[in-house]
Structures are given as C-alpha cells and as structure tokens.
Amino acid sequence: MPAKDDTKKRFWSYEQVHDAIRHGVCDKRMFDDFVPTLLLAIGGGGYIPARIARTYLQHAYKTKVTMQAVGLQLYDSEMDGCDVSSSTVRVTQWLSYGEGAGHVTLSGQRILIVDEVDDSRKTLAACVATLQADIDAQRALARAAGAAWEEPDVGIMVLAYKERPKLAELPAKIMKDRYWSCIDMDDCWCVFPWDAFDIYDHTRLAEGANPDQLPATAAERAAQSKPIMVTA
C-alpha cells in the first residue's frame, strides 16, 4: 500500500453520488432483468446509496422496494490499524425476518445488496455468504414442512467498482449477470461527502476546485447555501 499522501483521491459530491445512481438505474436500465424486491444496505457506507437507489427503482420500475440494513465490519485484533488482508468480517446487524403473520420469507425474493465501493470485496463476499446460509436454512425448513419454495435471486450493486486485487471471491453466478457498478474506477481513495467536515469545501473539491482557492471563511461558505420556502 502506498503512503497515504501518495494515494490518489477522488472526492465525490452528494450530487455526483446521487446522479451516478440515477445514471445506472434509469439510463443504463441495469435492473431490467432483475427488479429487486428487497434492498440490503450494507452499513454504514451502503445506507446512502441504497436509499437513493430505492428512489430510482421506484421511478424506473414503479416498485416501492423494501429496504433493510445489515452491518458488517472488517476487524482484526488491532482495530485501529486494521489490515484488510488478514482481517475477518464480523456481522453486527442482520436481516429481521419477523414472526408469525409479519414473517419475511426469502423464497422468491430478488435481493439486491448495496454498498458504496467494491474495494477488497471481503465485506461483499461475507454478506453474500451470510445471506446464502439463511437461504439454505429457509429452503431446508420449507422442504421439511412440505411448503412452497422458490429459489431467491441475489444481486449486488455498488456505486463504484475499484480496479484492484480482490481478497475474496463472489459466486460465479453473481459475477456473470447479477453484479452492477454505477461507475468503474482505478484504485484510488474515495472521499465521500458523508465523511466531510466542511461540506462546502468538499463539494468544491469534487467539482474540480483548486484546493488552494477554497473560500476562506465560514460565512463565505454558508452564503453558498440558502434554504428557502417555495409554494408548490
């Protein structure tokens, strides 16, 4: 890994994130063959892309898809200096299936896992494996009970596919035609707006400003954004 100062950074504005997802879902029509019934947002990075994807799925496919969040953290014995290559993935939150009349079955679902970046691929692979274990368990239960079972379909959408060596593999059937990235990019450091301290400076960087020429004062920055009321 290069020293952090040598890593290329790509700053993303919120508008760039939002519009990349619009482009994927509405212009490229990525999901014509797989209209999701359930979105799985991988937290925390996938929360925002998943929420935006839900908006565009509704636009493009007239479907209000259910969304749940899951938590998966890369960790090793030294969290602060987490070495991705040796780390494992811990599940901190998982799908709620409910009980009784409110029970959510995986049977027949088209489940779209959403994350912001396909980086080392370890989180995505762990998410798929955890989901597959639940699918296997629900299938076995359904068969034992003589109940109907339709094999669910699992796909992945990432805001950005990053070209770099992957440290985990995804199932071949997903890579074949159930994997979508809104943008493909070289291996560089993504700086997302939700991590920004000063969002106005951040947006300017994303839009190509010279870092030396950002507004000097907070008042200047705040003046860029004026909430208003309009009557519909």
The binding site for its own copies (CB under 8 A) comprises 4-16, 18-19, 22, 41, 43-44, 47-48, 50-52, 54-56, 59, 66-69, 71, 90-96, 98, 102, 188-189, 193-197, 199-200, 203, 205-208, 211, 222, 224-232
Nearer to its own copies, 217 or 231 (CB): 231
- Residue (52 or 154) nearer to its own copies, CB: 52
| Residue in 181, 76, 72, 168 with CA at minimum distance from that of residue 122 | 168
Return the H-helix or E-strand segment holding 49. Answer: helix 47-61
217 is written with which tokens? 């004062």
Q: How far is the CB of 183 from its own copies (least distance, A)?
A: 8
Nearer to its own copies, 175 or 222 (CB): 222
Q: How far is the CB of 106 from its own copies (least distance, A)?
A: 15
Q: Which of 5, 32, 80, 119 is catalytic?
A: 119
What are the residues whose beta carbons fall under 8 Å from the beta carbon of 173, sequence distance 6 or more? none
Query: Are 129 and 153 a contacting pair, CB within 8 Å?
Result: no
- Closest to its own copies by CB, 14 vs 61, is 14
Question: Residues with Cβ < 8 Å from 144, sequence gap 6 or more?
Answer: none
Q: Are 191 and 10 in contact (CB under 8 A)?
A: yes
Residue with tokens 């209000």: 64
Annotated catalytic, 5?
no
| Closest distance of CB 231 from its own copies, Å | 6
Give the shortest CB-102-to-its own copies separation in angstroms: 7
- Rounded to a whole number of angstroms, the minimum distance from the CB of residue 172 to its own copies is 30
- 215 sits in which H/E element: none
Contact between residue 168 and residue 154 where contact means Cβ atoms under 8 Å apart: no
Nearer to its own copies, 146 or 208 (CB): 208
Q: Which of 110, 108, 104 lies closest to 154, judged by CA?
A: 110
Which residues belong to the active site? 119
